[in-house]
Amino acid sequence: MQGGATGLAYRGRTASIGFAHGPFVRVDADTNGERVAGNLAEEALALRAAIDTASGQIADLAGIAGGEAAQILEFQVALLEDEDFIEDIFASIGEGDAADVAWRSALDAQIADYNSAADEYLKARSSDLADLRDRVINILRGGGGQALEIPSGAVVCADDLPPSRFLEIDWSGGGGLALLRGSPTSHVAMLARARGIPMVVQLGAIPDIGATALLDGEGATLELDPGAEQVRLFEKRRESHRKSRASARAILRRPTASWRGERIKLFINIQRVDDLEHADAQYADGIGLMRTEFLLTERGGLPDEETQFGAYDAVLRWADRRPVTIRTFDAGGDKPVAGFTLDGEANPFLGVRGLRLCLARPEIFAIQLRALARAAVRGNLKVMFPMVTSADELEAGRRLFAEIVQRLQADGIAAMLPELGIMVEVPAAALAIASFKASFFSIGSNDLAQYVLACDRSNGALAPLMDPLHPAVLELIARTAEHGRRAGISVSLCGDMAGDPRCLPALLNCGLRELSVNASALAQIKQTIDRLSSGGGVG
């Protein structure tokens, strides 16, 4: 690498924000080693020894890691100590299977079973089981025992990395993680965020070369063998991130955000219960939008009442007395769900989606409303309907909900009708906002902009036209906020605009005083409001 030359750059997705500049190390899973199986007794002994070694390794890791990581590992240890489970594997060896074959098939069966669960917590465990499976097989093949040799501060690159491999690496000298596949919602991403290790996932194919790397967890880029100019720009970004982060963290911990003396409430959007594990979530004024579609995409069909109640109740318990706004199923459009949404609609974005679909499938909607009615007595719950066009739809939903509450109460089950509001995302609803007898309004700016601008938001060719700051979009937001102010009804905005610092001045000037953003954007948004309040720019 000559100074001044430009190295290779790759872009992925952010899993953990931060910057790393160090040696580039590939740790792709070694596929060396078909092992040669011994006789029955030797195979049984080999597996017993491998299990003991794995147990020891994991216990050591848990001891070093502590906290959340230790709890993730504890389950693996418990499984290794499960006599019933292990006995079955030894039985297969007794019938002639090689140790690694017997172990793999038992673990694969468990993994498949967890993956088929209609339950996201259980599914998340399958990657832990895969981790355990690979660890023991690696030991059986003679590859285990020694930790990965990673120089301090390295940018570690792998196809994917299980949590226990992450924990084996000594991160005390910094460093970063670049994954060719992987996901921002994986356990390893959670660990990286908790440790403050920058991590970029889904980088795609990267040539097997490079001695040094720059990993930018904010811009989600990986640069290999960078030139002097690349390094200079990288260090500049790192420094400005460090300063901004320090002041954002300080501002985040302040009890409230305010702008020109007015209180600005900042809520978070969550896609699933796990999102509450984000370190910044605790600083939110509540949950402005809990999406419930994740419940529909579990394998094993549509979720039953208990599964739903469990999820809603968990979120309410987390929020304690803070408000939690749960949106009823918003399926259809770009979110088809087998067994629920309609097939073959010529124009699904203008079709039977959101509340329209729920009212058309009352047998499915009723289960969600029952779970919500029961959850309503457990905390400060508000429920909102998506994709509402006319006041009649809101009233039809309310009637259905009220009947369900009555029936539950008649059966002696604790239940109540929560505050009911609507998403404002259909232009007709924004224009006729006064016709809705809602307790609150939440502006869904993504769909609102798409419908007002007549631009499919998934169509890249329209990106230049898809401007949420178009005066027509802002006009509808301002009207809705103005109606709320006059009628004393709370109005919030939960689309991508709320998390975009460049949109904040416009939103505040439209009269909005409540915003809901992803937990990861909370610090930056609070900081931006603070800057705007003291006369600064969006930064």
Partner 1 sequence: MLDKADGQIFTGNVRLVHAVGMHARPAVKLTKLAKKFQAQVSVRVAGAAEWINAKSVAKIMAMRAAHGSTIEIKASGTDAEAAVAALVDLIATDFPDGA
Indicate the annotated binding residues.
291, 327, 425, 446-447, 457
- Tell me the binding residues for Mg(2+): 425, 447
Toward partner 1, which CB reaches closer, 76 or 528? Answer: 76
Task: At 363, list the tokens.
Answer: 């047998």
Q: CB 365: neighbour CB atoms within 10 A?
A: 22
- For partner 1, the binding residue among 144, 310, 505, 511 (CB under 8 A) is 310
SS3 284: coil
Q: Fill in the per-residue mask, 239 to 278: x = in contact with partner 1 (CB under 8 A), - = not in contact.
A: ----------------------------------x-----
Stretch that binds partner 1, among 73-81, 342-350, 426-434, 503-511 (CB under 8 A): 73-81
Residues ≥6 apart with Cβ < 8 Å to 308? 292, 295, 367, 368, 371, 372
Among 119, 216, 393, 447, binds partner 1 (CB under 8 A): 119
Tally Cβ neighbours within 10 Å of residue 34: 8
Distance of CA 46 to the CA centre of its chain: 40
> Which residues are bridge partners to 25 per DSSP?
156
Q: Is residue 313 close enough to count as binding partner 1 by CB under 8 A? A: yes
Task: Give the pair of three-digit tokens for residue 490.
Answer: 């709370």
Cβ atoms of residues 200 and 178 within 8 Å: yes
Question: Is 125 a residue that touches partner 1 (CB under 8 A)?
Answer: yes
21 has catalytic annotation? no
Complex with partner 1: residue 123 or 531, whichever CB lies closer: 123
| Range 177-196, binding partner 1 (CB under 8 A) | none
Q: Would you count residue 294 as binding partner 1 (CB under 8 A)?
A: no
Q: Which residue type, as a one-letter code, is found at position 82?
A: D
Tell me the window of 71-79, 94-102, 166-174, 224-232 that interacts with partner 1 (CB under 8 A): 71-79
Which of 49-57, 301-309, 450-458, 521-529 is the region at the interface with partner 1 (rule: CB under 8 A)?
A: 301-309
Q: Please answer whether residues 467 and 445 qualify as being in contact, where contact means their C-beta atoms are separated by less than 8 angstroms.
A: no
Length of the chain as a residue count = 539
Residue 39 is encoded by which pair of tokens? 């006789």
Instruction: Decide if residue 83 touches partner 1 (CB under 8 A).
Output: yes
CA 534 – CA 259 distance, rounded (Å): 8
Phi-psi region at 512: left, alpha or beta (left = phi > 0; alpha = psi -120 to 50): beta
DSSP string, 108-142: HHHHHHHHT-S-HHHHHHHHHHHHHHHHHHHHHTT
Applying CB under 8 A, the site for partner 1 has a residue count of: 28
Question: Which of the ranges 113-121, 201-209, 428-436, 490-498 carries the binding residues for partner 1, by CB under 8 A?
Answer: 113-121
d(CA 371, CA 95): 48
> 306 or 334, CB closer to partner 1?
306
How many alpha carbons lie under 13 Å from residue 463 in its C-beta half-sphere?
Answer: 2
Q: Does 85 bind partner 1 (CB under 8 A)?
A: yes
Q: Is 349 in the site for partner 1 (CB under 8 A)?
A: no
For 399, phi then psi, to 5°, come to -60, -45
Examine residue 121 and tell whether it contacts partner 1 (CB under 8 A): yes
68 binds partner 1 (CB under 8 A): no
Please identify, using beta-carbon distances, which residue of 414 and 463 lies nearer to partner 1.
414
Among 34, 84, 149, 208, binds partner 1 (CB under 8 A): 84
Shortest distance (Å) from residue 404 CB to partner 1 = 18
Distance between CA atoms of residues 426 and 418, nearest Å: 23
Residue 113 binds to partner 1 (criterion: CB under 8 A): yes
Nearer to partner 1, 122 or 538 (CB): 122
Six token digits for residue 243? 């300063």
> Does residue 157 have an active-site annotation?
no
Give the shortest CB-309-to-partner 1 separation in angstroms.
7
Burial class (CB in 10 A: 0-12, 13-18, 19+), 480: buried
92 binds partner 1 (CB under 8 A): no
Q: Which of 57, 307, 450, 520 binds partner 1 (CB under 8 A)?
A: 307
| Pure H helices in 284-375 | 305-319, 355-360, 362-375
Cα–Cα distance between 187 and 71 in angstroms, integer?
Answer: 12
314 binds partner 1 (CB under 8 A): yes
Catalog residues that contact partner 1 under the rule CB under 8 A: 71, 74-75, 78-79, 81-85, 110, 113-114, 117, 119, 121-122, 125, 128, 273, 306-307, 309-311, 313-314, 317
